[in-house]
Amino acid sequence: MATNGRLNRKLRMGIVGGGQGSFIGRVHVTAAVLDNRAALVAGAFSSDPERSKASAADYDVCDDRAYGSYAEMFEKERALPEGERIDYVSVATPNHMHFPVAKAAVEAGFHVVCDKPLTLTLAEAEELAEVVRNSASVFVVTHNYTGYPLVRQAREMILSGELGEIQAIRSEYIQGWLRTRLEGEGQKQASWRTDPKRSGAAGAFGDIGTHAYNLGRYMTGLFPEKISANLKAFVPDRPLDDYGQAVIRYENGGLGSVTASQISHGRENDLRIQIDGTLASLEWHQENPNQLFVRKNGHPHAIYTRDPNAPFTNVMGQAACRLPAGHPEAFFEAFANVYRCGFDAMEQAICGDAFERTDTVYPNIHDGVEGMYFIEQAVASSQADAAWLPLKHPLARR
């Protein structure tokens, strides 16, 4: 039953992925339940049916809703009464499974929260976008860094003109964990990320370069025009890039750069972005996410802290906070903010209300397609000696 466009019940979640030994599935579940608006009730946790069933207990999912495959989950959940079946599916598998799972979920009438990159290929992403367009499903893509309160604060500051015209974006995502050939030792996360059949056309650029690119797009709204890229695998016998740099021209004449590395000694998840406007510049680091640096020539440097009660905190920043200032919020909370905005849309959809599909606070199918275009054009440019290639996709968010 609906009340005032909001459900008076929790949303029911089914997950694909997140089995024992995996990484991001557990984060999806934690983020989804953080605000007490959803419960995990079903899952196809692994490609191995036995492991899937064994994983269910870790999430308190009962045996009869621990499925051997995603196809079985969709079929059996569809057959349940409307008041019991899952409302949405979270996709936390390696990249090559995003398309078949997400497409089948939308076709079965479920809402979807899909991890990035959206699919294995751009063609799949475009096909998926068409399926979503012809459906009544909410589709969320977990570019989770967009959920940080100070990222949203910065976005509102930029979109309202506080920084003036944006002329430069420098974003980078620097890691070091693939410095050695970890995939040769059978490490699960390294194995599929360095395999083109499961990862896609790019390695580091697809895995983390897309996050860095998405963050710049999300925070500034600048529309891209062209890209020139150099990608390289420095570790011998690795078929996909573990380091790359791209230069981007934006439609307004602005310039951007994206650097992604998985081979930099000692670097963890160092996603950082610097944005220059004609009136001010700003800088944000995900490893220090509760501070935003804003600078203006001739003025003392300002550090905005994540503070829901401060007069300098804008509406977007405040809406993304849960705790008072000084109690650090980080990865889980930001991930949960992406879910929270997706849940608002799902509740509207379930209540029969219209919901926004393009200009959403959460990253959506358009951002997902754009991410795939970024990957494929960066790879194509690199293969053509850093040739300038178009980066405007007709489905990109305007």
Residues lying near ligand NAD in the complex (CB under 6 A) are found at: 16-19, 22-25, 44-47, 70, 92-95, 97, 115-116, 142, 144, 188-189, 192, 207
Those residues whose C-beta lies under 8 Å from the C-beta of residue 96, and which sit 6 or more positions away, are: 120, 192, 197, 198, 199, 200
Q: Which of 210, 218, 195 is nearest to 341 (CA)?
A: 218
Instruction: Please state the closest distance from residue 395 (CB atom) to ligand NAD, in A.
Output: 20
For 16, half-sphere exposure in the C-beta direction (CA atoms, 13 angstrom radius) is 30
Long-range contacts of 62-66 (CB under 8 A, 24+ apart): 65/41, 66/42
The one-letter code for the residue type at 125 is A
Distances (CA, A) of 245 to 172, 210, 379, 390: 9, 12, 11, 16
102 vs 166, beta carbon nearer ligand NAD: 102
Nearer to ligand NAD, 16 or 178 (CB): 16
Closer residue to ligand NAD in complex, CB, 124/276: 124
Alpha-carbon distance of 123 to 99, in angstroms, equals 10
What is the closest distance, in whole angstroms, from the C-beta atom of residue 38 to ligand NAD in the complex?
18
**In the complex, least distance from residue 280 CB atom to ligand NAD, rounded to whole angstroms:** 29
For ligand NAD, the closer of residues 203 and 256 by Cβ is 203
Cβ proximity of 93 and 199 under 8 Å: no
To the nearest whole angstrom, how small is the minimum distance from the Cβ of residue 350 to ligand NAD? 25
Give dist(CA 209, CA 253) in Å, integer: 22
CB of 375 to ligand NAD, least distance (A): 12
Name which of 155 and 211 has its Cβ closer to ligand NAD: 211
**Strand, coil or helix: 388:** coil
Q: Which is nearer to ligand NAD, 103 or 116 (CB)?
A: 116
- Three-state secondary structure call for residue 79: helix
Least gap, CB of 204 to ligand NAD (angstroms): 12
